[in-house]
Structure 1
Amino acid sequence: MNNRRRQQLLQSVAPLLTEGEQVEITSVAKVGSVSARRRVLTTALVGALTAGTVIATVQPRPMYWALTDRRLMFFDASTMSGRPGKLLMSLPRQLMSAAPVKKALLGLGLQTVLTVQGQEQGLKLTFPPAYKAACRDLASRIAVAA
């Protein structure tokens, strides 16, 4: 993430910090997952409706994130300006654990799954190749899933 975007993200995070809370790292990742079935159906439907002139794909939502000493905050990255948008989710750090980092599709990026106590399903984070170091850094700062 370039320095300008990082500063914009820190400006979005600053008013939300509690007294003494410190930001440790920031980056961007695709959050969530899209089933293969949904991908195939979307591609087929758009292809049929446009007589094959347009092909659409469905991907997990890109989000900016900031890890503080107390929580992990996610911000909208799908804004028209590219600036960090509104706060979408905040997870308490002490309730999270991270699965070991593994290669993402085609081995280009990396991914990890965050597990939050009390939640049935984990939160999958996929990092593009340029953000591999951020993936490893995030996973190393969160407790390892048992």
Structure 2
Amino acid sequence: MNNRRRQQLLQSVAPLLTEGEQVEFTSLAKVGSVSVKRRVLTSALVGVLSAGTVIATVQPRPMYLALTDRQLLFFDAKTTTGRPGELLLAMPRELTSAAPMQKALLGLGLQTVLTVQGQEKGLKLTFPPAGKAAGRDLVSRLAVTA
């Protein structure tokens, strides 16, 4: 993430911070997962409707992340301006842990799964090739799940 986007993200985070809370980490990642079945169905439907002239893919949603000393915040990154959008999710840091990093599709990126104590389902984060170091940095700052 470039410095301009980082500053915009910090401006979005600032009003949400409690007294004494500080931002430790910022990044951009794709959040969630899309099943193979949904990808195939979407591609087939768009192909049929466009008579094969358009190709469509379905991907996890890009989000800006901000890790503070108390919470992990997720902001919409799918805005027309590219600026961080609205706050989509906030997770308490002390209850959040991350699985060890693994290679993503074709080994180009890295992915991890965040879990919150008391929740059954985890949240998958995928970092693109340019964001591998950021992914490793995030995981090193959180508790590790086995």
Q: Same fold (TM over 0.5)?
A: yes
What are the Cα deviations for residues 36-71 of structure 1, in whole angstroms up to 9, with x where unaligned?
A: 100000000000111110010000000001000001
Name the amino acid aligned to 2:40: V
Partner of 1:19: 19
What is the CA-CA distance between 1:15 and the residue it aligns to? 0.5
Look up the match of 1:107. Answer: 107
- Three-state SS of the structure 1 residue aligned to 2:114 is strand
Mapping of 1:17-96 within 5 angstroms? Answer: 17-96=17-96
Specify the alignment match of 1:135 in structure 2. 135
RMSD of equivalent CA atoms: 0.5
Q: Between Structure 1 and Structure 2, how many residues are aligned? A: 146
Residue-by-residue CA offset, 1:90-127 (whole Å, 9 max, x unaligned): 00011111000011001111000001112111000000
Give distance in 1, aligned partners of 2:2 and 2:115. Answer: 28
| Distance (whole Å) between structure 2 residues aligned to residue 100 and residue 4 of structure 1 | 30
TM-score (norm. length: structure 1): 0.99
Looking at structure 1, the residues matched to 30 and 123 of structure 2 have their Cα atoms a distance apart, in angstroms, of 10
Any unmatched runs of 5+ in structure 1?
none
Separation in 2, partners of 1:45, 1:116: 36
Q: TM-score, normalised by structure 2?
A: 0.99
What SS does the corresponding residue of 1:30 show, helix, strand or coil? strand
Q: Determine the C-alpha separation between the residues in 2 that align with 1:16 and 1:136.
A: 25
Q: How many Å apart are 1:5 and its aligned residue?
A: 0.3
Partner of 1:28, secondary structure, is strand
Cross-structure match for 1:98: 98
Could you tell me which runs of 5 or more consecutive residues in structure 2 were left unpaired when the two chains were aligned: none
1:118 and 1:143 mapped to 2: Cα distance? 15
Runs of 4+ in 1 over 4 A off after TM superposition: none
